[in-house]
Amino acid sequence: MQTSLLNKYCDARLPWYTIYPTVPDFSAIVGPKTCETWLRRLPPDEPVSLYIHVPFCRSICWYCGFPTSLTRSERPIRKYLAAVQDEIRLVAEQAPPALPVSDVHFGGGTPTTIAPTDFLALMELLRRCFAFSKSATIAIEIDPRACTAEMVETLEAAGVSRASIGVQSFDPVVQRAVNRVQSEVQTASVVESLRQHGISRINFDLLFGLPHQTVRSCVDSARTALAMRPDRLAVFGYAHVPSYMKRQRRIDETALPDNVARAEQAAAIADTLVSAGYRQIGLDHFALPNDELALAQKAGELRRNSLGYSADTCKTVIGLGPSAIGRLRDGYVQNEIATASYHQHIQAGRLATLKGYCLTAEDRLRAAIIERLMCDLQADVPAICAAYGFDPIPLLDSADRLGMLAEDGIVDIDEGFIRVKQEHRFVIRAVAAAFDTRLDRTPY
């Protein structure tokens, strides 16, 4: 891709469009009472997903953009567990009884900082408060540097079926530059242990655009990961926003690759993974052909939610824990981000909703178009508009960026059907942004 186009369209401030509208558009108008009302309106027989945010790590990676804090003590974790269990009960009281659950995801932070016995108790409570389907997928994010044999046995006992393992890079120089030193042996050992305990669906996270990364080091990391044959890999571009995430100020900005180098790294990783038999999924995921993501993409059912790409077809995601984002039928909600504020709400016997967004009919339409672009790299705008009861002409006419994208050869447009050219998939966010009416108010 030409350097001029990369510099024109690779804007770090563009949203990742995991949801639309994006979090900067959330407001305190949507609070605990609104969330209660929305929970009560949920269809009693429609399966939901649960997301549980665990905001603790044993060491802090400087690149991380998620709300998490360092703890070497058990006390904050126990306090958190008491609060999140109370939140689960509060949510279950408001939602329809025996609400069916088909997917659970423990994210963070590092969910495996929870002690094994406490994790089992947490899962037991979730199963008591909700009606888990027999085929429910339970997934957890793991830091292999701090995952014990006892914890792996616990995950098996709890019914966990998928593990997402943070890798980022196997290059020691890069690891030291971002404060995440993790050996290949550590990672491989945890992968093998998980598989021995029946947790066979393994995801890896890799990053490009980190300090001191090169095309060679990215390809080497990808090949090292391939030797462990994960089912999926998420290959994210590092987003350097030190004004927003203070921990990123520890990173040497002079060692960060520019847009052209980042694009070369992303393309090299993609080529390596595709050559090894993985299917490219949307912007930044790769999956073996028999994985749920690949099958969902093939069937045109790939979804995008606050965790990224998903085969989960649930319309509702209930977020639990500090900073967790939920997607209800009426709109989005986000919990208090600071753990102290979160605890205060829960201890007072109310939901911890900090802010949210009430969706309009036009928001739903734009979200549907953006989701298809991000998932399929194409969108039949007239067909989507027809499904939502809108005229496509004003929508397409108001998307000023589309003409520029077409002139620059990024997209082809045929009677409202937008297709992103394969070689330009890495600027798909710029295409999705053409349908984002709030973009100028997004601070990052």
Token code pair at residue 99: 């609400």
Q: 2 pLDDT exceeds 80?
A: no
Average per-residue pLDDT for the chain: 94
Q: 172 pLDDT exceeds 90?
A: yes
Work out the average pLDDT over 4-26: 86
Work out the average pLDDT over 60-84: 91
Lowest pLDDT segment from 74-78, 124-128, 220-224, 303-307: 303-307
Work out the average pLDDT over 63-83: 90
Work out the average pLDDT over 266-286: 96
Q: Where are the alpha helices (DSSP H) in 41-171?
A: 75-94, 116-129, 149-157
Token code pair at residue 357: 């967004």
Map residue 434 onto helix, strand or coil: helix
Q: What are the b/e assignments for 98-118, b being 16+ CB within 10 Å?
A: ebbbbbbbbbbbbbbbbbbeb
Q: 308 pLDDT exceeds 90?
A: no
Work out the average pLDDT over 394-401: 89
**Domains assigned to the chain:** 22-358 (3.80.30.20), 361-441 (1.10.10.920)
In contact, 186 and 145? CB cutoff 8 Å: yes
Q: 79 pLDDT exceeds 50?
A: yes
pLDDT of residue 443: 41
pLDDT of residue 440: 67
Q: Which amino acid is at 355?
A: K
To the nearest 10°, report the CA torsion of 292, 298, 300, 305: 40
Q: 441 pLDDT exceeds 80?
A: no
Question: Which pLDDT band holds residue 442 (cuts at 50, 70, 90)?
Answer: very low
With pLDDT > 70 as the criterion, what percentage of the chain qualifies?
Answer: 98
Render pLDDT for 359-393 as a digit per residue (tens, 0 to 9): 999 999 999 999 999 999 999 999 999 999 999 99
pLDDT of residue 381: 98
Report the candidate in 141, 104, 108, 144 with the shortest Cα–Cα distance to residue 124: 104
Render pLDDT for 239-248 as a digit per residue (tens, 0 to 9): 898 988 899 9
Question: Which pLDDT band holds residue 444 (cuts at 50, 70, 90)?
Answer: very low
Q: What are the b/e assignments for 392-405, b being 16+ CB within 10 Å?
A: beebbeebebbeeb
